[in-house]
Structure 1
Amino acid sequence: MNKPMPDDLATLWYLTRRVAGLMDRASEALFQQELGISLAQFLVLSVIDAHPGPLNQQQVADRLGLTKGTVSRQIDHAVSAGLVAVRPSPHSRRENAVLLTPAGTDLVRRGDTALHRDRTAFLPRLDPDDMHAAIRVLSAMNDALSPAHGAHR
């Protein structure tokens, strides 16, 4: 038996989706204008950059909550643009590892700088305690709803 969703949870859900959509649209425009790449491309490059050592495509997909096929297309574009190199995985002959090239690393740094500049110019100054509380709540929800924690969908 499903209980009705509490008003606070419904409001949190709505606002989270709305803010994420608005941030995605603004970031898409920013990355297209300043870097000539999509938000999806930037996210893939950022995940590769943030991980120490090589990742395979499935690991990138898992970190972004995307399909392996979607990530594969983004990686193919990045390889063509000289931003990512694909090498045989040191852990498995059946997998490839993806690594940023120096041009890919430079692009991520420029994107991080542009994103930081854009956010500080347009978002209100949020109280650090409020920001940390929001991060704690969203992290707890993310953990609770993640398939790894047995959440039912």
Structure 2
Amino acid sequence: MDDAPLPDDLATLWYLVRRVAGLMDRTGEALFQHEIGISLAQFLVLSVVDAHPGPLNQQTVADRLGLTKGTVSRQIDNAVAAGLMSVQAAAHNRRENVVSLTPAGTALVRRGDAAFEREKAALLPDAEPGDVQAAIRVLAAMNGALDPSAALPGRQRQ
């Protein structure tokens, strides 16, 4: 950030959130490319599918990641081609596809999760746990205010 002050706290927050999001994306991209050989976007799609018990359609994956269905569809196609994911027609609607991970996809997500755990301290070296929780509460409240239909994604592994 240069020396010129931003007009108010909300503008400062907006700037910092956008900047940190970009930096986190670049850091995550480098980490997952180096550690497991896939893009951050590919890992996120696999991770969302892994975290959801049962069948999951492409639109739900897109909604959870805040991406377009087309973007997620390309990532799913790449994952299927790499043997990481399978796609089947939904039992309740043959025009809808449901996705699931293959054993290789699940193993790759576990490797990615382990790599992220090793590198997590580098992202927030001096942050107190309470500070991180406070930031999550503020951002979740803003997310809910700006999009009441949005739910904060959780990671539920079986």
Q: Does the alignment pair 1:118 with 2:119? A: yes
Decide which structure has greater helix share.
Answer: 1
1:91 corresponding residue in structure 2: 92
2:142 partner SS: helix
2:82 corresponding residue in structure 1: 81
1:12 corresponding residue in structure 2: 13
- Counterparts of 1:27 and 1:135 in 2: how far apart (Å)? 19
1:67 corresponding residue in structure 2: 68
2:149 partner SS: helix
- Counterparts of 1:137 and 1:123 in 2: how far apart (Å)? 17
1:1-150 superposed matches below 5 A = 7-146=8-147, 148=149
- Counterparts of 1:121 and 1:6 in 2: how far apart (Å)? 31
Higher relative contact order (Cα pairs below 8 Å, separated by 6+ residues): 2
- Stretches of 4+ moved more than 2 A in 1? none
TM-score by length of 1: 0.89
- Counterparts of 2:41 and 2:98 in 1: how far apart (Å)? 19
What does the per-residue CA deviation read over 1:8-49, in whole Å, with 9 as the maximum and x for residues that have no partner? 111111111111111110110111111110000001001101
* Residues paired across the two proteins, number: 145
2:153 corresponding residue in structure 1: none
What does the per-residue CA deviation read over 1:60-92, in whole Å, with 9 as the maximum and x for residues that have no partner? 111111111100000000000000011121231
TM-score by length of 2: 0.86
Paired amino acid for 1:117 = R
The alignment-based identity, stated in percent, is: 74
What does the per-residue CA deviation read over 1:116-146, in whole Å, with 9 as the maximum and x for residues that have no partner? 1112135313111111111100001111111
- Counterparts of 1:148 and 1:106 in 2: how far apart (Å)? 32
Paired amino acid for 1:108 = V
2:100 partner SS: strand
Q: Let me know the Cα RMSD of the aligned residues.
A: 1.6
Runs of 5+ consecutive residues of structure 2 not aligned to the other structure:
1-5, 151-158
- Counterparts of 1:28 and 1:110 in 2: how far apart (Å)? 15
1:148 partner SS: coil
Deviates more, 1:125-134 or 1:49-58: 125-134
